Amino acid sequence: MLNALDAFRLRAQELDVVVICRGGGSRTDLAWFDSEALGRAVAGFPLPVVVGIGHEQDRSVLDEVGRRCKTPTAAAQLLVETVQRSLEALETLGTRALTGASRRLQDERRRAADRGRRLGLAARALLDRELVQLGHRRQRTGLGARALLGAATERVARLVRDIPRAGWVLLAGQRTFQDHVRRAVAQGARRDLGTARHRVEQLVRALAPGSERRLRHESERSELRARRLRLVDPRRVLERGYSILRTTNGTLLTAAEMAPAGTDVVAELKRGGLRLRSEGPTADGGGD
């Protein structure tokens, strides 16, 4: 027994609990469990030690230093109930995590869609504002050109009326001036138009990478959360050979009393499922 405990101590990282069981017998058959060395080994063991020796009235040193159970059957029942509670707690936590992650994923998707919509609206509003300003500049340029042209025309007409003999010379000069003004106005209009168009293109180029980068970031976050959801999916337990029992209306079976005799049961396996019919709880309640 001491050698076995030493071997288990070396593999403590691989184990959860150690069980020491012995069926009923005479006092002399159970006396060797009162060893001081064995009691010290159990008391200092790094893992929980469940002790189920003899009958309920039998006691030894190990019962005082370990987790005492009345009989070996009681020790086995304790382990089964502990594992069952752990599985139920794990399933509950997995369900909560899955629900919370699904809710968070939906919230993040709504936020990402809302941000993308706001970015598109902002870009469209900025582009519309620049187009409006460009139209106003074009209109002001045209009005200025027409005003300059009208003023020059009036001046030419006045000079022709006042100085008939120098009219042809002045007329030629005014025509030259008009051509110069027209070219200057056209060049200014083209320059303003090119500047405004360049600014609009810069704004569009600046907005596009930011939007794509933001959408790509949100997509990566969504994929990461989806992988985490798959890791905590309770159905991964089915891949290890277990099954999930439910009634035909989808209620999860966690106790034998939930499926009395004649109840139709659906067993969900790793691949497919089975339709079963309960014959009622077992006589011992499934504890041993």
Query: SS3 letters for 185-213?
Result: HHHHHHHHHHHHHHHHHHHHHHHHHHHHH
Q: What span, in angstroms and rounded, lies between the C-alpha atoms of 258 and 281?
A: 9
Give the chain's mean pLDDT: 80
CA distance 248 to 283: 24
pLDDT for 287: 47
Q: What is the pLDDT of residues 207-250, one digit of tens each?
A: 667 777 888 888 888 888 888 777 666 666 666 677 888 888 98
Q: Give CA–CA dist 180/172, Å, rounded.
A: 12
**How far is 159 from 174, CA to CA, in rounded Å?**
10
- Beta bridge partner(s), residue 206: none
Cβ-based burial of 168 (10 A; exposed 0-12, middle 13-18, buried ≥19): exposed
Per-residue pLDDT of 97-131, as tens digits, reads 888 888 898 889 888 888 888 888 898 888 898 88
CA distances from 267 to 84, 270, 277 (A): 18, 10, 10
Domain ranges of the chain: 2-70, 86-232, 236-277
Most confident of the following: 50-59, 83-92, 228-237: 83-92
> Percent of the chain having pLDDT more than 70?
86
- Inter-residue contact 222 to 215 (CB < 8 Å): no
Residues 65-87 pLDDT 10s: 777 777 788 778 888 888 888 88
Q: How confident is the model at residue 285 (pLDDT cuts 50, 70, 90)?
A: low
- The share of the chain scoring above pLDDT 90, in percent, equals 1
pLDDT in tens, 141-150: 888 888 888 8
For the segment 155-183, what is each residue's pLDDT rounded down to a tens digit? Answer: 877 777 776 666 677 677 777 887 887 88
pLDDT of residue 264: 92
> Is the confidence at residue 18, as pLDDT, over 60?
yes
